[in-house]
Amino acid sequence: MVSGKYSALAGAISREQSINNIAANLANVNTTGYKRSLVSFESLLNGERQTKEASGINYSRVRQNYTDFSEGALRPTENPYDMAIQGEGFFKVQGPEGPLYTRRGDFLVDQEGNLRTTDGLPVLDDGNGEITIPNTDIGEVAVSDEGGIYILTPDGNRAEVAQLAVVGVNDTSQLKRRQDTTFELLPGGEETEVENYSIVQGSLEVSNVNMTDEMAKMINSYRTFETYHKVLKSYSTLGEEQNDLGTIS
């Protein structure tokens, strides 16, 4: 009976972790550039070990927490500092402890003319330098498909002021989530060049979370959690009855 009780407890804990993960996705369904988080499960005992050592009883746990980097849809904004990557790659920004990678492109220009994220992180160019956009008060900002940033003056002149860093990584499993939309490249991961991309100015990539799918997963996980909880309650009731029987003289 004890083995069955701990098996149900392991299942309940795994499902609770799954529910928390789904809740985080639902909370970010409207977050620009958010990539949904997924979990996979595994059994601790397999094959003959489950049959011989555990008499068919098994224990489950979360095997892996990983990120779905599939593209989200683009939403037009007409803001010249809003940028979206259509295709492969990430924007590169400077975090407190090193470079970070993101698909979120709702940038802004501060009072010094520096291009930054909404969290205040500097956006980097292709030389890993911070991007400054001068003369925004006398000209319009234009961004090319390749990520070149230009100032268009009223007299028709065009001056390139920066080139956005748009990079890929050799293995996205080496990207560790730091905040909702930024990722750190772990040791063993490497930056790569990307060719199949286009920068779309005046648009943003929306979250790739599908609310309908996540709600269905939430209902299923919650029902499974409730089942495990009922099993644990049954074991608790049986344990109390065994104790009562042991006190009969």
Residues 6 or more apart in contact with residue 33 via CB below 8 angstroms: 72, 102, 103, 104, 105, 106, 181, 204, 205, 206, 207
pLDDT in tens, the chain (249 residues): 445 555 655 666 777 788 888 999 999 999 999 999 998 766 555 554 444 554 445 555 656 788 999 999 999 999 999 999 999 999 999 999 999 999 999 999 999 999 999 999 999 999 999 999 987 777 899 999 999 999 998 887 889 999 999 999 999 999 999 987 999 999 989 999 998 999 999 999 999 999 999 999 889 887 876 776 676 666 566 555 555 545 544
Whole-number Å distance between alpha carbons of 135 and 125 = 18
Question: 3-class DSSP state for residue 91?
Answer: strand
* Domain layout of the chain by residue ranges: 2-69+209-246, 74-90+99-107+132-205
Confirm if 178 and 184 have CB atoms less than 8 A apart.
yes
Whether the predicted model's global pTM rises above the 0.95 cut = no
Q: How far apart are CA 164 and CA 143, in angstroms?
A: 9
**3-class SS of residue 239:** helix
